[in-house]
Structure 1
Amino acid sequence: METFFVFFLNGISYGLLLFMLSSGLTLIFSMMGVLNFAHTSFYMLGAYIAYALTGIIGFFPSLVLSPLLVGLLGAAFERYSLRKVHVYGHVPELLVTFGLSYVVLEVVRLVWG
């Protein structure tokens, strides 16, 4: 009975996680018209940049500076990459953002281990 309860809670939590993912993608896609699978990569990059800056400039300045840096990176990615493929439809947007997430993951692995 205890095993069934653990499996039940795992299923509920996984289902809620999938619901949050799908509702977030639906909101972003319906409001902006852009398929962007690289959001979490930018969040991860912001966390690692904040971690690196904390040792250099301190905790609170890094909390202000890291979102600004990642926001600039995201704006540059949108301007120089996503705008160029937006005219071709949703599949190229999906491929570019999915590829960016792999690139960011490998960069984070190279820099921070």
Structure 2
Amino acid sequence: MLLFMVSAGLTLIFGMMGVVNFAHASFYMLGAYLSFSISRVTSFWWALLIAPFLVAIIGIFIERYMLRRVHSLGHSQQLLLTFGVAFVFDELVKVFYGNFPVAYRAPPELTGAAFEIFGTNFPIYRVFVAATAISALISSIHADTC
């Protein structure tokens, strides 16, 4: 589901804006790490609200001051720029969080089983992630039809 969200975003950005943004997954990663950091200070729900706004501000800055300058030069320059942005984000995450996964747990409100299928419990957190992916799909379909 997470891979779908990243690929749907890449398709949506290229389809609507004509920009080859290879850093799209890196923005998603940056949002996840920012959300992790914010949730350690506040709560999961505040992090869920604040982190997307911070990533949006970074994205607006990159689009306005970097991508607009290379948009007229063609797709290869956009690809090189966004690939470089992806490398910068990757290295910044390694500097601040290390080269290993962070110890993250689902919030207490989302722990437990949502339902059971053939003796296997399906966690509430997975239902939450699936609902997020479905809402992203619906919003991308709605944006394509408008």
1:26 CA displacement: 4.5
- Choose the corresponding residue for 2:90, options 96, 100, 105: 105
Which residues in structure 2 correspond to 1:30-109 (within 5 Å)? Answer: 30-109=15-94
Higher helix share: 1
In the alignment, the residues of structure 1 paired with residue 48 and residue 35 of structure 2 have an alpha-carbon distance, to the nearest angstrom, of 6
Say if 1:26 and 1:47 are closer, same or farther in 2 by CA, change over 3 A: closer
Q: If the length of structure 2 is used for normalisation, what is the TM-score?
A: 0.60
Report the AA paired with residue 23 of structure 2: A
Deviation string 1:37-89 (CA, Å, 9 cap, x unpaired) is 01100000000000001111221111100000001100110000000011111
Q: If the length of structure 1 is used for normalisation, what is the TM-score?
A: 0.76
1:31 CA displacement: 2.1
The gaps in structure 1 that reach 5 residues or longer are 1-16
- Aligned residues of 2:13 and 2:20 also touching (Cα < 8 A): yes
In the alignment, the residues of structure 1 paired with residue 93 and residue 31 of structure 2 have an alpha-carbon distance, to the nearest angstrom, of 11
The structure 1 segments of at least 4 consecutive aligned residues displaced by more than 6 Å after TM superposition are none
In the alignment, the residues of structure 1 paired with residue 11 and residue 57 of structure 2 have an alpha-carbon distance, to the nearest angstrom, of 24
1:28 CA displacement: 3.0
1:30 CA displacement: 2.7
Higher strand share: 2
In the alignment, the residues of structure 1 paired with residue 69 and residue 11 of structure 2 have an alpha-carbon distance, to the nearest angstrom, of 22
Q: Secondary structure at the match of 2:73?
A: coil
CA RMSD for the aligned pairs? 2.0
Residue 29, structure 1, aligned to residue 23, structure 2: no
1:24 CA displacement: 5.9
Report the AA paired with residue 104 of structure 1: F
Alignment size in residue pairs: 95
